[in-house]
Structure 1
């Protein structure tokens, strides 16, 4: 009997996220067993610290609107792994996703049995292979692929993509990618092949110097005059430049949706209530520019993030904050966040409510009917709030 969505997600959750070491040999063997599906479509590869998912969605939508059969591979997800693989303008259905994972799992079992070092196919490798296999089976012409972590040793770096987008570079995942902007940019730009087109969304001198050494044709994000938050305009500009590079011609005007799940997602009115998964200092700083002065925030932050910098960027926009705890063992305690807020932004009224849903309810009371509430700081917080109360949710990683 074929797998259903529950079985597919349980299998994924049983696998290691990244494995004991980075490398591409195991991924290449897995794809070989599946018939090398990555060779049957063109690719746009999106790397960077922030904005990858939005840029992937916008690029895929633009290509689809211009007559190209397009797939998109994204991470992380919010409520189900099936959100990660899209064909056209839709996520895979539960049955389609389960079948794709079952096929990839069968191939992975063969790879595991012959592994020379005893290491097994990881969760991200299996998801990536399932996506590539599904794209090939569905006749996708161009797949827009979001890198998972870094680039050089990421499972997605088997594409040799003709177009690469680097959204921006920030200090994140330094344990794996290195301690400086130059180190991190080098890992991300390692996906660029000579002769490719590189859409470069970061103007840091070290990033630009490394980009020029790749042998790619460098283009900047296009200027777009749409009514969208500032950081989404930059992501849309990168998507426009990438789609033009794929088509080799100007885009035909066509409306696309700028709505991205978990990114400035409006979930209620009176007061306006917004969920956003920004989870690092640059992301929060960009988000802060998009919310009105006097917003009431619900905040949870994981312990590997620069919580002080995040608070310093957001607190000046707020009239009050309610600190809570996302359902993740690495989430900082609400009391720790409150103490930190008192140090970096003294004078702001703050409250503690460990339960995320109760925290949102309290924030709505504080904001009043005509105010704005923003829940942010962790993708885990947003994923929990978007899931049905008490529902089992697959890992957001």
Structure 2
């Protein structure tokens, strides 16, 4: 017989089930539904300062680091990131911890009531030949974002670090106020730009950068990560000039005295970017805190980012298992850099699953020197690329490596472990959705990031 259910577990389960049900409405970029929904909720996004983070890669890590730095400066901080690995409430953080079940479930309940009321009103308006207040159902991402803003406002955060979901201009997070409640200039961060989501954002780096840089508010501060493509950087500078913004260009590295965060070399650039963003948010009168920066770097743990979930070499004789949510070519280039800085034990077996809007050829080519075999599978996400298609790509990109197609992510992991043997490494990558599928299967719950 199972034990008693934890307090709030039923409400959280109902909240998660309702959010899951919203997935059927798909991706529908636009801001009007979000504005109307938030107005019905009392505009919680107006109750805290925000650092708005956009980019193709590095967003979640930059958000997580920035929150920790703000906390060490005595600022009550929170975060909103996506996607999650186990529970929707992982997307909302308060002082480095995932949102507690009760306030998250309560926020989702408020959003559900408001969304369903608006949808019912829209149906009645259309039946009466009148213009509805919203142009269709509230999407899953809009609902989660609204709930996050409610949780952050109710928790009394002074500054929230907000990760955009897709692009920027029409992303549901792009409803933050033009001026901060604290009186400072609004801060936006551009972490990277690469070809992604081209069906929504455009098919050039410049077009995608235009969509992302559009989140910069008039008179705001735009923090640019080091190493942006030249075309993307030019677009970002033009946006800043257009709206009278100030540009801060982050360095490539936080400095030699700062340890490498989270064992992955690519996190050094994210740390440098986060430091620049926090400095911009705190203002020129607040000096940097090198001790805090070193402490944050030493304790950084971002789930699914070059994360060793099984160290290997234990009594069970299993391989080392690494989870990394690299999901596009730029992410795989950074992953290759991480492998170079922390050489894995061989053989290394890639366990790969990707979504259908990615370029798996470029992705696999970036880690080809490290891959001794490939196991191909499919995440459960409905936008997944069929495993048979990915296997054909893998055979071309890695022609002299064994490639296996295994249905079911857990069976695929078992196959990869067998190929790697007791002394090898399994690298699970290609999509955070694949990492999430395996994480849920291990029975893991959301955990603290620091």
- TM-score surpassing 0.5? yes
| Contact residue 41 and residue 111 of structure 2 kept, 8 A | yes
* 1:282 maps onto 2:315 in alignment: no
2-side partners of 1:339 and 1:21: how far apart? 31
Describe the shift of the 1:303–1:121 C-alpha distance in structure 2 as closer, same or farther (beyond 3 A): closer
SS in structure 2 of the partner of residue 104 of structure 1: helix
* 1:106 maps onto 2:135 in alignment: no
- TM-score, structure 2 length as denominator? 0.81
Of 74-83 and 326-335, the range deviating more from structure 2 = 326-335
SS in structure 1 of the partner of residue 372 of structure 2: strand
2-side partners of 1:259 and 1:21: how far apart? 32
What is the match of residue 258 of structure 1?
A: 300
Describe the shift of the 1:389–1:269 C-alpha distance in structure 2 as closer, same or farther (beyond 3 A): closer
What is the match of residue 214 of structure 2?
A: 190
What is the match of residue 150 of structure 2?
A: 133
2-side partners of 1:23 and 1:233: how far apart? 34
- TM-score, structure 1 length as denominator? 0.92
SS in structure 2 of the partner of residue 14 of structure 1: helix
Describe the shift of the 1:142–1:389 C-alpha distance in structure 2 as closer, same or farther (beyond 3 A): closer
2-side partners of 1:20 and 1:79: how far apart? 21
- 5 Å-filtered alignment, 1:81-96, equals 81-96=88-103
Deviation of 1:205 after TM superposition, in Å, equals: 2.3
What is the match of residue 319 of structure 1?
A: 372
* 1:227 maps onto 2:260 in alignment: yes
What is the match of residue 207 of structure 1?
A: 232
Which of 420, 424, 428 is 1:371 aligned to? 424
SS in structure 2 of the partner of residue 236 of structure 1: helix
Q: Deviations over 1:345-380 (max 9, x none)?
A: 221233333232233233333333333221111222
Describe the shift of the 1:107–1:335 C-alpha distance in structure 2 as closer, same or farther (beyond 3 A): closer
2-side partners of 1:49 and 1:17: how far apart? 25
Describe the shift of the 1:312–1:19 C-alpha distance in structure 2 as closer, same or farther (beyond 3 A): closer
Describe the shift of the 1:390–1:82 C-alpha distance in structure 2 as closer, same or farther (beyond 3 A): closer
Which of 25, 31, 50 is 2:57 aligned to? 50
Q: Deviations over 1:170-227 (max 9, x none)?
A: 1111111111111111111111012211111253222222222223211122431422
What is the match of residue 388 of structure 1?
A: 441
Runs of 5+ unmatched residues, structure 2? 1-7, 123-131, 181-185, 313-318
2-side partners of 1:299 and 1:105: how far apart? 35
2-side partners of 1:125 and 1:17: how far apart? 13
1-side partners of 2:383 and 2:218: how far apart? 40
| Contact residue 12 and residue 123 of structure 1 kept, 8 A | yes
2-side partners of 1:28 and 1:172: how far apart? 26
Cα RMSD after superposing both structures: 2.4
Of 260-269 and 67-76, the range deviating more from structure 2 = 260-269
What is the match of residue 119 of structure 1?
A: 136
Runs of 5+ unmatched residues, structure 1? none
2-side partners of 1:29 and 1:15: how far apart? 18
What is the match of residue 78 of structure 1?
A: 85
SS in structure 2 of the partner of residue 101 of structure 1: helix
Of 61-70 and 249-258, the range deviating more from structure 2 = 249-258
Deviation of 1:131 after TM superposition, in Å, equals: 1.2
1-side partners of 2:103 and 2:117: how far apart? 22
2-side partners of 1:125 and 1:346: how far apart? 43
2-side partners of 1:389 and 1:304: how far apart? 28
Task: Give the count of matched residue pairs.
Answer: 393
Describe the shift of the 1:337–1:130 C-alpha distance in structure 2 as closer, same or farther (beyond 3 A): closer
Describe the shift of the 1:17–1:244 C-alpha distance in structure 2 as closer, same or farther (beyond 3 A): farther
| Contact residue 18 and residue 124 of structure 1 kept, 8 A | no
